[in-house]
């Protein structure tokens, strides 16, 4: 008996998923283990796989099957209906671009990223500028083509690929609200810190292997499954792989273990989300993560909401002392809590505190919008970056390594991604607040290193829902309210003004 159109689509999209996973592992290898001499051939490999994936999506038969399946949509169960909607969305995006542009983009992103790996530590923006200029030209072409196909402005078309349904108008409103709130709040926090006990920074050399061992122990505590994942080193931390083989990376500074450790916990939040996606929908669009804002909410929930909390640091402090064979005031839980919640405008986004973090994202959002819309030439990026940092945070990088070269995103083709970080921070506050209200065991569990109650709530209300619902609907179902920055602001006030 011939499969229904819907079942034929499931087979096609399962193949697309497998090819995408293969691309992901090639990218992981490129970022962690590949020798520099492999860059050119790797770019060709990734472009070829991207073309195969795109070819399946844009095959005329795929369009026919989607039309036929939609006619019989009433016969599908709710998960299948949601899966068909996700299939349609992916097909619509893919259909906007021709194969030549897709392969050019993939190749240009790989080539630009490999040059960035040399340019960043050298603080040499001119080194990567020609590659970035070419990549941005292609990104603009793709944004315009997709926007025309979807009836969206170019930047909204890019954003829609990372966070479906979210538009710049909504982001602008949220960011304007935060920008009005944060300067005054930051001043209050800085004033309060003047009368607080001084933070004592742990001193010494912290070998990378010891940092790694501590990171592994805390990853396991939070719930990372090492039968289905691993931790490695890369120039820029990330999480990738598949739900059954999650790869996360970090980077180590032997003079300061705190940034790497919290970075590992951030990426662990991503990994836990991937591992918790609905198993019965592996390989189908509805079984994928629900947009990057939700993904970032899960990493920021673990890193910011939980692992910078007083309860968690009281649990973790003895483990830190044991790992490094240390003792003294710097290693007491109260001091470590002050250290991990110390607010100070800085240059590096991934090391930023909760209060100043949104400013880093707002800057990147504004710059990439200008670059996509043609309001700025890419060669002017370093100067514009420095001016923006001075205006938003009162600090200016001395080299581009601490400025416009610090993040990998633009150099590997991820444009329209940055707003999801702050949207994710707001969602994280809502999810964690709702979880604690739903289960009184969550807070005491974290204080004992028992994350089972929290993970049970997240598995049921976030992870296990995959892409069944739009992000806004998922948030309302889990928390009882739409995106609400007031919950995030209340969290900041409790932690940084009331000393929660």
Query: Among all residues, which ones are annotated catalytic?
Result: 267
The pair of structure tokens assigned to 129 is: 């500028």
Owner of token pair 């293969």: 22
Sign of CA dihedral 242, 243, 244, 245: positive
- What's the CA gap between 181 and 193, in Å, rounded? 19
At residue 244, φ and ψ (nearest 5 deg) are -100, 0
The pair of structure tokens assigned to 344 is: 């100070």
The 3-class secondary structure across 177-229, one letter per residue, is HHHHHHHHHHHHHHHHHHCCCCCCCCCCCCCHHHHHHHHHHHHHHHCCCCCCE
- What's the CA gap between 14 and 279, in Å, rounded? 13
C-alpha angle 305/333/264, rounded to 5°?
45
* 330 close to 201: Cβ distance less than 8 angstroms: yes
- What's the CA gap between 458 and 431, in Å, rounded? 8
The pair of structure tokens assigned to 196 is: 């607080």
- What's the CA gap between 240 and 267, in Å, rounded? 9
46, 48, 51, 56: CA torsion to nearest 10: -100
371, 100, 63, 9: CA torsion to nearest 10: -100
* 307 close to 265: Cβ distance less than 8 angstroms: yes
CA–chain centroid gap for 132, Å, is: 21
């Amino acid at each position: 008996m011939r499969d229904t159109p819907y079942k034929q689509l499931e087979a096609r999209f399962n193949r697309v998923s497998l090819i995408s996973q293969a691309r992901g592992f090639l990218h992981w290898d490129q970022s962690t283990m590949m020798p520099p001499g492999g860059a050119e051939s790797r770019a060709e490999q990734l472009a070829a796989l991207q073309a195969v994936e795109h070819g399946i999506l844009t095959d005329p038969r795929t369009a026919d099957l989607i039309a036929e399946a939609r006619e019989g949509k009433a016969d599908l169960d709710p998960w299948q209906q949601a899966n068909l909607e996700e299939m349609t969305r992916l097909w619509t995006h893919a259909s906007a671009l021709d194969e030549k542009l897709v392969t050019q983009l993939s190749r240009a992103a790989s080539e630009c990223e490999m040059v960035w790996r040399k340019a960043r530590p050298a603080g040499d923006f001119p080194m990567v500028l020609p590659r970035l200029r070419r990549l941005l030209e292609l990104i603009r072409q793709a944004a315009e083509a997709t926007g025309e196909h979807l009836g969206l402005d170019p930047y909204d078309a890019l954003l829609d690929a990372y966070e479906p349904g979210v538009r710049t108008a909504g982001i602008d409103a949220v960011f304007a609200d935060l920008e009005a709130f944060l300067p005054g709040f930051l001043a209050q926090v800085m004033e309060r810190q003047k009368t607080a006990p001084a933070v004592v920074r742990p001193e010494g050399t912290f070998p990378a292997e010891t940092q790694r061992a501590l990171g592994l122990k805390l990853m396991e505590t939070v719930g990372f499954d090492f039968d289905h994942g691993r931790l490695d080193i890369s120039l820029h931390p990330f999480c990738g792989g598949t739900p059954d083989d999650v790869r996360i990376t970090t980077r180590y500074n032997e003079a300061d273990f705190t940034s790497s450790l919290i970075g590992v916990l951030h990426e662990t939040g991503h990994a836990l989300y991937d591992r918790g996606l609905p198993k019965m929908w592996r390989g189908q669009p509805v079984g994928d993560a629900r947009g990057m804002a939700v993904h970032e909410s899960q990493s920021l929930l673990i890193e910011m909401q939980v692992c910078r909390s007083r309860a968690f640091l009281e649990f973790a402090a003895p483990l830190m002392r044991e790992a490094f064979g240390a003792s003294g005031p710097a290693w007491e839980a109260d001091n470590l809590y002050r250290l991990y919640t110390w607010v100070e405008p800085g240059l590096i986004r991934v090391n930023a505190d909760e209060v100043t973090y949104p400013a880093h994202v707002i800057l990147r959002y504004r710059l990439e919008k200008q670059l996509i819309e043609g309001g700025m030439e890419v060669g002017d990026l370093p100067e514009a970056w420095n001016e923006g940092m001075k205006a938003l945070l009162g600090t200016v990088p001395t080299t581009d390594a601490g400025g416009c070269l610090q993040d990998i995103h633009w150099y590997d083709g991820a444009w329209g991604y940055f707003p999801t970080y702050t949207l994710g921070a707001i969602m994280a506050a809502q999810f964690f607040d709702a979880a604690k209200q739903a289960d009184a065991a969550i807070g005491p569990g974290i204080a004992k290193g028992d994350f089972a109650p929290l993970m049970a709530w997240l598995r049921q209300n976030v992870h296990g829902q995959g892409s069944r619902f739009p992000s806004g609907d998922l948030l309302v179902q889990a928390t009882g309210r739409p995106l609400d920055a007031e919950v995030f602001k209340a969290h900041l006030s409790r932690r940084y003004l009331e000393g929660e």
